[in-house]
């Protein structure tokens, strides 16, 4: 697609809730550039280029095309070995950048082939390529000096020259591998995702197990919770970013403070799933010793990932595990196995719940609000008592 055609079809949608951030989308003659707190890239007409996390380019380019179009126009065949898919005529792109609030941004790139590429502006730089309408080929060229290595049918691990690692993960029906040129090739059936996660250093065993939960479709959402000051903003407002894998699980953050982050997690199906909450120490006091409540009841602390996973299979109670993260920020991963759905109220709370109230005037009416489980009920009882006392004085 030439520059004039790209300019004619380019879509920029910018909305803001709460304080503005440094994240921005800027037009140049040859590309559309996105620059957030952690993630930046360019959409140059038919590829996402120079995908950077924490100011380091980790993927040189990502291009997509529907398998039917690639096979009819690019010389590919339906039975081609995926390692041989090194090139195809990539589909044109348009960009929609959605700002959901301070430091909680998602940049969305839409392909003419029916794929969607979402860049999440968190310190893992999570990118999700979704075959929204048709099956898709994905070609990702890793950055110079990096080495890609297949790690099973659904993962490719990329190691940079500085020892930092990133992982491509297929969620749903599809395959990913290293092609003949040493880059990444993937084929996604309709509805499948290709997820990229970046780490500050070598992946820990805990993070490898999180990847497995994502690949299996067991972990369907991640929530990133951080202090606005970490993202270069003034003030002390805490911010959130939600990453979804697939369309079956929704997470809405309902209130947040130094002592808790409360969420409504909803699914149309009753089967339990895993939600991963990455909380920085600056945003959540004593995050490494966090406690979890589901519908106002304390979840049981698990001793292993297998226990968390078992809880999602109709367990008697939800279970959670807390592990330190290799994030660039001091943070902890709270891995919660919710035992069943449809709508659940989930709260991750500081073990020493004694800090200030909600940020930004967020109302906290959930039963797991500030001060521990049952706070909303106690507040209601106190309000009724005050009303009766006032009436008696009349």
- When divided into structural domains, the chain yields a total of 1
Q: Give the mean pLDDT of 118-137.
A: 93
pLDDT in the model for residue 261: 96
Q: Per residue in 342-367, pLDDT tens?
A: 899 999 999 765 444 455 434 343 33
Could you tell me if residue 287 is inside a domain? Answer: yes
Residue-range definition of the domain harbouring residue 148: 3-361
pLDDT in the model for residue 352: 67
User: DSSP state, 226?
Assistant: E
Could you tell me if residue 392 is inside a domain? Answer: no
Residue matched to tokens 């994905």:
138
Could you tell me if residue 129 is inside a domain? Answer: yes
Could you tell me if residue 390 is inside a domain? Answer: no
Could you tell me the strand order of the sheet in which 115-120 lies?
93-99, 105-111, 115-120, 127-131, 193-198, 165-171, 155-159, 147-150
Could you tell me if residue 367 is inside a domain? Answer: no
Quote the pTM value.
0.81
pLDDT in the model for residue 66: 93
Q: Per residue in 185-207, pLDDT tens?
A: 999 999 999 999 999 889 999 99
Q: Give the mean pLDDT of 8-31.
A: 37
Could you tell me if residue 366 is inside a domain? Answer: no
pLDDT tops 70 at residue 277? yes
First to last CA, the chain: 77
Q: Across the chain, how many H-helices and E-strands are there?
A: 5, 27
Could you tell me if residue 387 is inside a domain? Answer: no
Could you tell me if residue 213 is inside a domain? Answer: yes
């Amino acid at each position: 697609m030439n520059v004039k055609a790209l300019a004619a079809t380019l879509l920029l949608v910018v909305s803001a809730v709460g304080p503005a951030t440094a994240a921005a989308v800027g037009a140049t003659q040859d590309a559309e550039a996105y620059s957030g707190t952690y993630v930046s890239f360019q959409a140059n007409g038919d590829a996402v280029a120079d995908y950077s996390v924490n100011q380091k380019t980790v993927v040189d380019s990502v291009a997509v095309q529907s398998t039917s179009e690639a096979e009819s126009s690019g010389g590919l065949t339906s039975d081609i070995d995926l390692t041989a898919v090194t090139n195809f005529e990539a589909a044109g792109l348009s960009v929609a950048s959605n700002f959901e609030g301070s430091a909680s941004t998602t940049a969305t790139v839409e392909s003419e082939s029916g794929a969607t590429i979402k860049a999440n502006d968190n310190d893992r730089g999570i990118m999700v390529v979704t075959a929204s309408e048709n099956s898709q080929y994905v070609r990702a060229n890793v950055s110079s000096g990096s080495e890609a290595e297949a790690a099973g049918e659904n993962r490719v691990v990329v190691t940079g020259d500085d020892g930092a690692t990133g992982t491509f993960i297929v969620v749903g029906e599809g395959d990913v591998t290293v092609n003949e040129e040493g880059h990444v090739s993937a084929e996604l059936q309709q509805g499948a995702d290709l997820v990229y996660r970046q780490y500050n250093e070598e992946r820990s065993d805990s993070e490898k197990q999180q990847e497995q939960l994502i690949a299996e479709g067991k972990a369907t959402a991640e929530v990133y919770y951080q202090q606005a000051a970490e993202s270069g903003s003034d003030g002390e407002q805490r911010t959130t970013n939600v990453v979804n894998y697939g369309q079956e699980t929704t997470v809405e953050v309902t209130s947040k403070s130094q002592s808790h982050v409360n969420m409504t997690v909803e699914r149309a199906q009753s089967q339990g799933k895993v939600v991963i909450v990455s909380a920085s120490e600056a945003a959540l006091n004593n995050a490494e010793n966090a406690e979890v409540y589901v519908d106002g009841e304390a979840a049981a602390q698990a001793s292993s990932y297998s226990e968390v996973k078992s809880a999602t299979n109709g367990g008697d109670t939800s279970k959670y595990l807390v592990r330190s993260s290799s994030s660039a920020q001091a943070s902890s991963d709270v891995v919660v196995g919710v035992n069943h759905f449809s709508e659940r109220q989930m709260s991750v709370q500081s073990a020493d719940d004694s800090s200030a109230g909600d940020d930004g005037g967020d109302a906290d009416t959930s039963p797991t609000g500030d001060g521990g489980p049952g706070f909303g009920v106690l507040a209601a009882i106190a309000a009724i008592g005050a009303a009766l006392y006032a009436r008696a004085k009349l």
